[in-house]
Amino acid sequence: MRFGKGHGTQNDFVILPDPGGALDLPPGLVARLCDRRAGIGGDGVLRVVRTAALPPGTVAPVPPAPAQGAAPPAEWFMDYRNADGSVAEMCGNGIRVFARYLLGHGLAAGPEIRIETRAGTRLVREEPGGQLTVDMGAPAVLGRGRALAGGFSCDGLRISLGNPHLACVVDVPLGKLDLSGPPSVDPALFPEGANVEFVRVTGGRRAEMRVHERGSGETRSCGTGAVAAAVAAAEATGERGGAWHVRVPGGDLTVTLDGATSLLTGPAVIVAEGDLSPAWLAGLPFPAARSAGRKGSRCSGSAGPGRIR
């Protein structure tokens, strides 16, 4: 099994190329892959699969544009899984890493790429400086909610970006918050759990954020969470439009809000590629003896033997 490793502002992912949709990906395997001591390590898994190879009904139909027929689905589908193996609808940092992988392997031509997700089709654009911008769609503000984290309680905005968020604007240093466990939220409001963001506005359309992601724990960054943080910060300050600069522990992201959609801009890096050990996949306690003629695992870039077509 081939794999890649990438990150967007240190929100890191295991990438599994599976163009034909043949890979069985049970939750236990995802959790093993994301294990930071016994696996590769990551906040989640990105399976790279052709949309045409998916079971019927996986991708929602694309609504037709005015006076036009329905647009065909995008060629590639981002099958995103949280670190605990649960399925997620969308990942803002992950889709940039996904796009970087497609571009690096010649599987898509830039500068704009359409990618299918469980939250709908997303358009990713490669910027002249190398960063990637994702059209995240219009954030849906669903009302107020409350989170309790390590004894600290705060109100926040319930926001959907295809996945659920509770973004809480606070006036305490974020480093004092205890996010070692999942914040408590109202299960009636969040029956499938939520990503919880704690946001501190630092002035001049700038904010800093920490986040606890459902199924992954506290992460160094969250792309959809950065958009939710910008929406909550804009609501709290009354500065609703324009670009917000959101600092996360893993770096900096830019969120542009225009009332109709939201744009997320940030870096995406492919760190490494290679082969998973067959012995590890089989769950053996030590590596099996190498077969004749094979001198270790191969590790190559987009032009090497691991390139998918």
Catalytic residue list: 91, 222
SS3 of 264-290: EEECCEEEEEEECCHHHHHCCCCCCCC
Q: Is 95 helix (H, G, I), strand (E, B) or coil?
A: helix
Instruction: Report how far residue 300's alpha carbon sits from residue 293's, in angstroms, rounded to the nearest whole number.
Output: 18
Structure tokens at 33: 């892959």
For residue 225, which phi and psi values (nearest 5 degrees)?
A: -65, -35
pLDDT given at position 259: 86
Its CATH class, for the domain covering 140-260, is: alpha beta
Residue that has been written with the tokens 């960063």 in this structure: 131
Domain boundaries, given as residue ranges, for the chain: 2-135, 140-260
pTM of this prediction? 0.88
pLDDT in tens, the chain (309 residues): 999 999 999 999 999 999 999 998 999 999 999 999 999 999 999 999 999 999 877 776 555 444 555 678 899 999 999 999 999 999 999 999 999 999 999 999 989 999 999 999 999 999 999 999 999 999 999 999 999 999 999 999 999 999 999 999 999 999 999 999 999 999 999 999 999 999 999 998 999 999 999 999 999 999 999 999 999 999 999 987 899 999 999 999 999 999 899 999 999 999 999 999 999 999 866 554 433 333 333 333 333 333 444
Instruction: Report how far residue 41's alpha carbon sits from residue 271's, in angstroms, rounded to the nearest whole number.
Output: 12
Fold of 2-135: Diaminopimelate Epimerase; Chain A, domain 1 (3.10.310)
Instruction: Report how far residue 156's alpha carbon sits from residue 135's, in angstroms, rounded to the nearest whole number.
Output: 24
